[in-house]
Amino acid sequence: MSHNDKQLFEKIETMDQEEAVNFLLSILSSSENLEDKVKSVKILAKFEDNENSRLQDLKNLFLNDRHPQLRIKLIDLLAKIYGNEGIKFLKEQYKNCSDGTVRKTLIEKVGNADLNGSIPFFIKVLGDPNIEAIELVITFLGNSGAKEALAPLIERLHFRNPEIYVPLINSIVKIGKKGHQQPIFNYIDSDDVYIKREIPVILGKIGNKESETVLINFLKDGNPLIRKNSLKALEKIIELKNIKYILATLKDQNIDVRKESIRVLGNIGSKRAINPLTEILKDKDVKVRNLSKNALYKIFKKIKSNDVLYDILKGKNINARREAIKLLGMLKDVNAIEYLIKTFDSTVASIRRASYRAILRILQNRIDEKIIDSLAEKSWRVRMYCTKILGEIGDPAAIETVFELIQDENGSVRKAAIDALINFKSDKVIEMAKSSLKNTNWKIRRAGVKLLIRVGSKESINSLISCLDDNDVYIKSWAAMALGKIKDVDSIEPFIQLLKETDDKIRLSAIKALGEIGNKDAIKSLIEILGDDNWDVKKEVENSLNRINPDWMEDL
Per-residue model confidence as pLDDT tens digits over 477-524: 777 666 666 556 667 777 788 788 787 877 887 888 788 778 888 888
Is the pLDDT at 339 greater than 90, yes or no?
Answer: yes
Please tell me the predicted confidence (pLDDT) of residue 61: 81
* 554 CB-near residues (< 8 Å, 6+ apart): none
Mean pLDDT is lowest, of 14-18, 127-131, 297-301, for 14-18
What is the average per-residue pLDDT within 301-310?
Answer: 92
Q: Mind listing the pLDDT tens digit for each residue in 27-62?
A: 666 666 666 666 666 666 666 554 555 778 778 888
Give the residue among 428, 381, 421, 379 at the shortest CA–CA distance from 404: 421
What is the average per-residue pLDDT within 116-130?
Answer: 94
Q: Mind listing the pLDDT tens digit for each residue in 180-217?
A: 889 999 999 999 999 999 999 999 999 999 999 999 99
Give the number of C-alpha atoms closer than 13 A to the C-alpha of residue 219, restricted to the C-beta side.
Answer: 26
Residue 33 resides in a domain? yes
Residue 251 resides in a domain? no
**Of the residues 79, 114, 149, which one is the last residue of a structural domain?**
114
Mean pLDDT, the chain, integer: 87
Q: How far apart are CA 443 and CA 421, in angstroms?
A: 16
Q: Mind listing the pLDDT tens digit for each residue in 360-385?
A: 999 999 999 999 999 999 999 999 99
Give the residue among 448, 427, 447, 513 at the shortest CA–CA distance from 477: 513
Q: H helices within 177-314, ranges in order?
A: 182-185, 193-196, 199-206, 212-218, 224-234, 243-248, 255-268, 274-280, 286-300, 307-313
Please tell me the predicted confidence (pLDDT) of residue 333: 95
Residue 533 resides in a domain? yes
Long-range contacts of 352-360 (CB under 8 A, 24+ apart): 352/381, 352/385, 354/322, 354/325, 354/326, 354/329, 355/325, 355/385, 356/385, 356/388, 356/389, 357/326, 357/329, 358/325, 358/326, 358/328, 358/329, 359/329, 359/389, 360/329, 360/389, 360/392, 360/393
Q: How far apart are CA 430 and CA 124, in angstroms?
A: 85
Q: Mind listing the pLDDT tens digit for each residue in 47-105?
A: 655 455 577 877 888 888 888 988 888 898 888 878 889 999 999 999 999 999 999 99
Q: Mind listing the pLDDT tens digit for each residue in 312-326?
A: 999 999 999 999 999
Q: How far apart are CA 472 and CA 210, in angstroms?
A: 84
Task: Report the chain's C-alpha Rg in angstroms.
Answer: 42
The residue segments making up the domain with residue 487 are 468-556
**Of the residues 93, 114, 135, which one is the last residue of a structural domain?**
114
What is the average per-residue pLDDT within 133-157?
Answer: 96
pLDDT confidence bin for 2, thresholds 50/70/90: very low
Please tell me the predicted confidence (pLDDT) of residue 192: 95
CATH number for 518? 1.25.10.10
Burial environment of residue 56 by CB neighbours within 10 A (0 to 12, 13 to 18, 19 or more): exposed
Q: How far apart are CA 387 and CA 417, in angstroms?
A: 6
Please tell me the predicted confidence (pLDDT) of residue 544: 85
pTM reported for the whole predicted model: 0.74
Three-state DSSP at 313 gives helix
Give the end-to-end CA distance of the chain in Å, rounded to a whole number.
106
Give the total number of structural domains in the chain: 2
Residue 480 resides in a domain? yes
Residue 325, φ and ψ in degrees, nearest 5: -60, -45
Please tell me the predicted confidence (pLDDT) of residue 50: 46
Please tell me the predicted confidence (pLDDT) of residue 515: 83
Scored b (16 or more CB within 10 A) or e, 392-405 reads bbeeeebbebbbeb
Residue 143 resides in a domain? no
Please name the amino acid found at residue 270.
S
Give the residue among 324, 335, 332, 232 at the shortest CA–CA distance from 279: 324
**Of the residues 68, 89, 114, which one is the last residue of a structural domain?**
114
CB atoms within 10 A of CB 139: 18
Please tell me the predicted confidence (pLDDT) of residue 484: 62
Residue 349 resides in a domain? no
Distance, C-alpha 509 to centroid of its chain: 50
What is the average per-residue pLDDT within 132-143?
Answer: 96
Residue 89 resides in a domain? yes
**Cβ–Cβ under 8 Å, residues 545 and 552:** yes
Give the residue among 68, 114, 116 at the shortest CA–CA distance from 89: 114
Give the residue among 154, 143, 99 at the shortest CA–CA distance from 118: 143
Percent pLDDT > 90 in the chain is 58
Percent pLDDT > 70 in the chain is 86
pLDDT confidence bin for 118, thresholds 50/70/90: very high
Residue 106 resides in a domain? yes
Three-state DSSP at 192 gives coil
Q: How far apart are CA 211 and CA 203, in angstroms?
A: 6
